[in-house]
Amino acid sequence: MQAASGRRTFLRQASGAGLLALGGCATAAPGPRLMAPPRPPFRPVSPLARINARPERIMNITVCLRPFRAAGPRLDAETVADKLVVHNYGHGGAGWSLSWGSAQVVVPKALSAGVRDIAVIGCGALGLTAAITAQRAGASVTIYAKERMPEVRSARATGVWSPDSRIATATAAPANFPALWEQMARASFRTFHSYLGLPGAPIEWIDRYLLADAPPGRRADPVGFAHYQSRVADLTPPMETLPPGSHPFPTPHVRRTSLPMFNIAEYGRVLMSEFLQAGGRIETAEFHTPSDLARLKQKAVINCTGYGARALWKDESLVPVRGQIAWLIPQPEANYGVIYENVSMLARRDGIVIQQTGPDEAWGYGDANEQVDRQEALGAVASIAKVYA
């Protein structure tokens, strides 16, 4: 009871300062000590800005359909009329995370016939990175898309390093896919390093805290998604359990991890600028059938249409996985994430991203509804508000 009382007192004091500060890593005000400093080699929790999770601060609600394929993303090539079409879609919830590595797989296929004039269909995460990768290989590139940043579906993504999120199922993925996935994940991770430290922080590292009222267990997974994170465990620090009294959160069980986060509004602008400054062109176009590609002058096409490939390519293997985000007004002083009650919060530069993730990994699976559910958004915000109550 004394420890719980001390934590409540601490949170009230932190609330008055606007920060969830820690006695073990900040200068304490005169008075009784609230907690002992953490024992080395434990890394102290930095002062955390309090998230103002109130319904009236919701500035937008968006819905994204993750394009999932049980066998993993489609990266093969085929001939349509006189075009070499290389596919680059179906990355589930890992599109941003795997984008550069995926581009390194498909671009050489598009250039294999010796052509140096490439068309890219789609202007989202996969389209922009494939286009830039082709430019770096010496190609002239035109992007054809109905929409561009920030209207594309991938602009509504959560924006965190999640390279195996709904990427395939363990049973349907080909035997060679785990190695290919690792190749793409490592290549992407290396490329992200070049975007760290830029103005506007298009990519930055954050700490993410997993909070639980009961000892954490494994989430149910009725779909049987593949999990490959252990193959690249060396890229990010291991998950660590925080000892009692070392953190400001009201839950008894807290774990912490560190990982890259994408501030997609700024990151999208950086990618668009990089593509255009290298001589790229973007043309507004819409395609309804593969035969529509015949009107393009380019002989090599990289198809980066995401969930749109289900209609364009009649790909029934694509399954939508719905995700909705409630966007709160940005708080520049906050740069961390929290998961509590199956709700994720990320304090991004372009807004506080709050998303219901559901009680199991099948949340949103097979749901193609892109209509906003305000009650879902309000419930998600209410869950995060409890952390700071």
Over the stretch 12-66, which tens digit does the pLDDT of each residue have?
Answer: 334 433 445 433 333 333 334 434 444 446 788 888 999 999 999 999 999 999 9
pTM: 0.89
d(CA 249, CA 345): 14
Mark 163-184 as b/e (b = at least 16 C-beta within 10 Å): bbbbbbbeeebeeebbebbbeb
- pLDDT given at position 11: 41
Going from N- to C-terminal start, the domains of the chain cover: 2-64+204-260+321-387, 65-195+264-320
- pLDDT given at position 22: 37
Structure tokens at 298: 């380019």
What's the pLDDT tens digit per position in 67-98?
A: 999 999 999 999 998 999 999 999 999 999 99
Mean pLDDT of the residues in the chain: 90
- pLDDT given at position 219: 87
Question: Residues 345-371: what's their mean pLDDT?
Answer: 96
In degrees, to the nearest 5, what angle opens at C-alpha 69 toward C-alphas 94 and 132? Answer: 45
- pLDDT given at position 349: 95
CATH of domain 65-195+264-320: 3.40.50.720
d(CA 182, CA 98): 10
User: How distant is the alpha carbon of residue 235 from its chain centre?
Assistant: 16
- pLDDT given at position 244: 87
- pLDDT given at position 370: 95
In whole angstroms, how far apart are CA 87 and each of 167, 290, 305, 312, 351?
16, 12, 9, 12, 32
- pLDDT given at position 10: 37
Q: On the CB side of 110, how many CA atoms lie within 13 Å of its CA? A: 34
Mark 61-90 as b/e (b = at least 16 C-beta within 10 Å): bbbbbbbbbbebbbbebeebeebbbbbbbb
Q: Which amino acid is at 332?
A: P
What's the pLDDT tens digit per position in 205-262?
A: 999 999 999 998 888 999 999 999 999 999 999 999 999 889 999 999 999 999 999 9
**What pLDDT band is residue 198 in, cutting at 50, 70 and 90?**
very high
d(CA 350, CA 49): 16
- pLDDT given at position 218: 84
Structure tokens at 319: 């399954």
Percent of all residues in the chain with a pLDDT value above 70, rounded to a whole number: 89
**What pLDDT band is residue 190 in, cutting at 50, 70 and 90?**
very high
pLDDT over 50 at 149, yes or no: yes
pLDDT over 70 at 5, yes or no: no
Q: Secondary structure of 223-266 in the HEC alphabet?
A: CCECCCHHHHHHHCCCCEECCCCCCCCCCCEEEEEEEEEECHHH
Backbone angles phi, psi at 254, to 5 degrees: -135, 130
**What pLDDT band is residue 113 in, cutting at 50, 70 and 90?**
confident
What's the pLDDT tens digit per position in 324-342?
A: 999 999 999 999 999 999 9
Other C-beta atoms lying within 10 Å of the C-beta of residue 368: 12
Element (H, E) at 115: none
**Residues 268 and 155 sit within 8 Å (Cβ to Cβ):** yes
